[in-house]
Amino acid sequence: MIRSNLLYLSALFLGAIFLMLSCGSSVSPAHLIVHVPPHFSGPVHVMTCVNGAPAGQVQLDAQGMGKSSLCPEPDRFVELEIIREDGHYTLNKSEVRILRTGDGIATAIEGQVRK
């Protein structure tokens, strides 16, 4: 009886360690706050790695264009928090596309602002 409990506890302990290590090693997405003009809906195109532009917040123009100094690494995703006059919502990593050069440098972040 003691032997079966020891085996069970060992398996539980190893599983807990594996879970902690796998969760701790996951990379959380970068977060970018996007302020959109009143009544705007449509495609968003944010140029990345722009010197002098803010990193955490972007103000879009009427065409949905903006600039950010945020430069997401090749293994990093981006969440866009859309701020509108009627509220806000977040586009998760599956709704956001990061355009990159052949060597992985981010050139732009794209998403879609809903109506």
Q: What SS3 state is found at 15? A: helix
Whether residue 86 is predicted with pLDDT greater than 80 in this model: the reply is: yes
Span 34-51, average pLDDT: 95
Span 54-64, average pLDDT: 95
Rg (C-alpha) for the chain, rounded Å, is 21
Which residue, chain included where needed, has tokens 């709704």? 95
**pTM of the entire structure?**
0.75
Largest pairwise CA distance in the chain:
72
Residue 46: what pLDDT? Answer: 97
Whether residue 17 is predicted with pLDDT greater than 90 in this model: the reply is: no
Cα 51 from Cα 95, distance rounded (Å): 26
